[in-house]
Structure 1
Amino acid sequence: MSVAHNFIRLAGGIVLGLTTLLVNASAQTQTDPLPSWNDNAPKAAIVAFVEKVSKENSPDFIPEPERIAVFDNDGTLWVEHPMYVQPAFALDRVKAEAAAHPEWKDTQPFKAVLEGDMKALAAAGEKGLVELIMETHSDMTSDAFQKVVSEWLATARDPRFKRPYTALVYQPMLELLAYLRASGFKTFIVSGGGIEFMRPWVEQVYGVPPEQVVGSSIKTQFEMRDGVPTLFRLLQTNFIDDKSGKPVGINEHIGRRPIAAFGNSDGDLEMLQWTTIGGTTPRFGLIVHHTDADREYAYDRDAEFGRLDKALDAAAINQWTVVDMKADWKQILPEK
Structure 2
Amino acid sequence: MKKSIVGASRAAVAALALLCLLVSTAQAQAAADPLPSWNEGPAKQAIIKFVAATTTEGSPQFVSPGARFATFDQDGTTWVEHPIYTQVVFALDRVVVLAPKHPEWKTTEPFKSVIADDREAMAKFTTKDLEKIVFATHTGMTTSEFSAIVKDWIAKARDPRWHRLFTDLVYQPMLEVMQYLRANGYKTYIVTGGGQDFVRTYAEQTYGIPPEQIIGSALEAEFSYNDAGNAILMRPPKLLVNNNFSGKPEDIYLFIGRHPQAAFGNSTGDREMLEYTQAGGKGALMMLVLHDDPTREYAYGPAEGLPASNVGTFTQALYDEAKARGWNVISMKKDWNRIFSFDK
TM, length-normalised to structure 2: 0.88
1:25: how far off?
9.1
Separation in 1, partners of 2:39, 2:122: 40
Are residues 238 and 198 of structure 1, via their aligned partners in 2, closer, same or farther at CA, if it must alter by over 3 Å?
same
SS in 2 for 1:155: coil
Question: Residues 130-169 of structure 1 correspond to what in structure 2 (within 5 A)?
Answer: 130-169=131-170
Runs of 4+ in 1 over 6 A off after TM superposition: 23-26
Q: What is aligned with 2:76? A: 75
Q: What is aligned with 1:35? A: 36
SS in 2 for 1:231: strand
Q: What is aligned with 1:249? A: 251
Q: Does 1:314 align with 2:316?
A: no
Answer whether contact 2:60 2:282 (CA < 8 A) is retained: no
Answer whether contact 1:222 1:231 (CA < 8 A) is retained: yes
Q: What is aligned with 2:231? A: 229
| 2:332 aligned to which of 313, 317, 325 | 325
Separation in 2, partners of 1:130, 1:269: 23
Structure 2 counterpart of 1:46, one-letter code: I
Separation in 1, partners of 2:30, 2:234: 50
Structure 1 counterpart of 2:46, one-letter code: A
Q: What is aligned with 2:50? A: 49
Q: What is aligned with 1:90? A: 91
1:30: how far off?
4.0
Separation in 1, partners of 2:310, 2:35: 31
SS in 2 for 1:323: strand
Q: What is aligned with 2:275? A: 273
Separation in 2, partners of 1:279, 1:248: 14
Question: Residues 182-193 of structure 1 correspond to what in structure 2 (within 5 A)?
Answer: 182-193=183-194
Separation in 2, partners of 1:231, 1:26: 47
Structure 1 counterpart of 2:48, one-letter code: V
Answer whether contact 1:246 1:270 (CA < 8 A) is retained: yes
1:26: how far off?
7.6
Separation in 1, partners of 2:250, 2:281: 21
Separation in 2, partners of 1:266, 1:291: 16
1:225: how far off?
0.9
Separation in 2, partners of 1:263, 1:170: 13
SS in 1 for 2:231: strand
Answer whether contact 2:218 2:240 (CA < 8 A) is retained: yes
Separation in 2, partners of 1:122, 1:220: 31
1:122: how far off?
2.3
Structure 2 counterpart of 1:326, one-letter code: K
Answer whether contact 2:223 2:231 (CA < 8 A) is retained: yes
Structure 2 counterpart of 1:158, one-letter code: D
1:31: how far off?
2.2
1:155: how far off?
0.8
Structure 1 counterpart of 2:197, one-letter code: E
Structure 1 counterpart of 2:170, one-letter code: V
Separation in 2, partners of 1:242, 1:292: 25
SS in 2 for 1:124: coil
Q: What is aligned with 1:238? A: 240
Answer whether contact 1:121 1:128 (CA < 8 A) is retained: no
Answer whether contact 1:139 1:235 (CA < 8 A) is retained: yes
1:29: how far off?
4.3
Q: What is aligned with 1:220? A: 221
Q: Which runs of 5+ in 2 are unaligned?
A: 1-23, 303-307
1:281: how far off?
1.5
* RMSD of aligned Cα (Å): 1.4
% identical aligned pairs:
47
SS in 1 for 2:292: coil
1:50: how far off?
0.7
* Alpha-carbon displacement from aligned partner over 1:285-317 (angstroms, at most 9, x marks no partner): 000101111111111121120000132221111
Separation in 1, partners of 2:222, 2:185: 36
Answer whether contact 1:76 1:263 (CA < 8 A) is retained: yes
Separation in 2, partners of 1:78, 1:273: 22
Separation in 2, partners of 1:212, 1:37: 26
* Alpha-carbon displacement from aligned partner over 1:212-268 (angstroms, at most 9, x marks no partner): 000001111000112111000001111110011101110111111111100000110
1:116: how far off?
1.0
Q: What is aligned with 2:11? A: none
Answer whether contact 1:68 1:258 (CA < 8 A) is retained: yes
Separation in 1, partners of 2:198, 2:25: 45
